[in-house]
C-alpha cells in the first residue's frame, strides 16, 4: 500500500525535502503508535533547527563560525530526512495540537539577539539529548529495535556536538550567565510541550514526571566557562 507522505513536520515545506529510505521498524504495535506521536515533535525541532542554523550562519561575521553553523544546518536536514523515513514506517498520526504547540515553541526560540538564540539552542539541544537518552535506555522498547535505536543514537551524537558549538560561540562572545534565565525559560517551555505527549513516553517506558523535571532545569554550568 502506498501511503501519502507528509512532506513537512512543521516548517519544512519547500525546504528541498528528499525522501529518506524507510527504516526497518520492529516495534510492537503499541510502542510504534507511541513513537508515532513523538516523531513529529522531534521532526518539528529538526526543521526549525535547520532554518535557525542557516539564518545564524548567514548573519555571522566570523567565516569559521559561519561554516560550522552551516554544517549543522545540513545535519539538521539529514535528521529531518531520517525522521521522515521513520514516520513512514509508523502508524499515521495527525497530532495537530502537538504540532501547533511545537511550532509556536520553535518560533519563540528565535526571538531576541543572536547570542540569546544560540544560548537557547544549547539548552534545547541538551534537552533533546536527554529525551533521546531516556528513549534509548537499555531494556526500553526503543533500545530493543536495532534500526530505530541506531538512528536515534546517531541524532543524539550530532546533537551533543550542536550543544558544544552553540555553547562555545556564546561563551567566546559574552558572559554566558546573562543568558541563563532565557535558556532556563526555553527548557521550561520545552518541558511543557513534551508533556503534551506524556502518555506516549509512558508507553515507551520513560517516566514523564522525571523527564519533565530534568527538562525543566538548566544543566549546571551549561552557560558558564
Residues forming the site for Fe ion (CB under 5 A): 46, 49, 76, 79, 125, 159, 162
Q: Are 57 and 70 in contact (CB under 8 A)?
A: yes
Q: Are 32 and 91 in contact (CB under 8 A)?
A: yes
The CB-of-150 to Fe ion minimum distance in angstroms stands at: 16
C-alpha dist (Å) from residue 143 to 98, 105, 148, 151: 24, 28, 8, 11
Classified as helix, coil or strand, 9 is: coil
Is the CB of 78 or the CB of 143 nearer to Fe ion? 78
Helical segments of the chain, H only: 29-59, 63-88, 96-109, 114-135, 146-173, 180-194, 198-203, 208-215
The CB-of-79 to Fe ion minimum distance in angstroms stands at: 4
The CB-of-1 to Fe ion minimum distance in angstroms stands at: 30
Is the CB of 46 or the CB of 60 nearer to Fe ion? 46
Supply φ then ψ for residue 133, to 5 degrees: -65, -40
Is the CB of 50 or the CB of 142 nearer to Fe ion? 50
Is the CB of 106 or the CB of 162 nearer to Fe ion? 162
CA–CA gap between residue 2 and residue 149 (Å, rounded): 25
Is the CB of 72 or the CB of 211 nearer to Fe ion? 72
Q: Are 179 and 119 in contact (CB under 8 A)?
A: yes
Is the CB of 43 or the CB of 176 nearer to Fe ion? 43
Burial 193-223 (b: 16+ CB within 10 A, else e): bbbbbeebbebbbbebeebbebbbebbeebb
Amino acid at each position: 500500500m502506498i501511503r501519502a507522505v507528509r512532506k513537512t513536520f512543521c516548517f519544512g515545506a519547500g525546504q528541498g525535502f528528499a525522501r529518506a529510505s524507510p527504516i526497518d521498524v520492529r516495534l510492537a504495535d503499541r510502542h510504534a503508535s507511541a513513537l508515532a506521536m513523538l516523531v513529529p515533535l522531534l521532526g518539528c525541532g529538526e526543521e526549525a533547527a535547520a532554518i535557525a542554523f542557516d539564518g545564524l550562519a548567514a548573519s555571522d561575521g566570523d567565516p569559521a563560525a559561519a561554516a560550522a553553523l552551516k554544517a549543522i544546518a545540513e545535519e539538521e536536514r539529514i535528521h529531518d530526512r531520517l525522521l521522515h523515513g521513520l514516520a513512514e514506517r509508523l502508524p499515521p498520526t495527525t497530532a495537530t495540537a502537538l504540532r501547533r504547540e511545537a511550532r509556536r515553541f520553535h518560533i519563540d526560540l528565535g526571538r531576541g539577539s543572536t547570542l540569546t538564540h544560540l544560548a537557547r539552542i544549547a539548552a534545547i539541544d541538551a534537552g533533546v539529548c536527554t529525551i533521546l537518552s531516556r528513549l534509548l535506555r537499555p531494556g526500553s522498547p526503543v533500545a530493543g529495535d536495532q534500526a530505530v535505536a541506531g538512528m536515534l543514537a546517531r541524532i543524539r551524537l550530532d546533537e551533543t556536538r550542536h550543544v558544544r558549538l552553540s555553547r562555545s560561540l556564546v561563551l567566546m562572545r559574552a558572559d554566558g550567565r546573562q543568558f541563563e534565565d532565557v535558556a532556563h525559560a526555553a527548557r521550561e517551555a520545552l518541558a511543557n510541550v513534551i508533556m503534551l505527549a506524556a502518555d506516549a513516553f509512558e508507553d515507551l517506558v520513560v517516566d514523564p514526571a522525571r523527564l519533565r523535571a530534568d527538562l525543566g532545569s538548566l544543566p549546571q554550568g551549561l552557560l558558564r566557562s
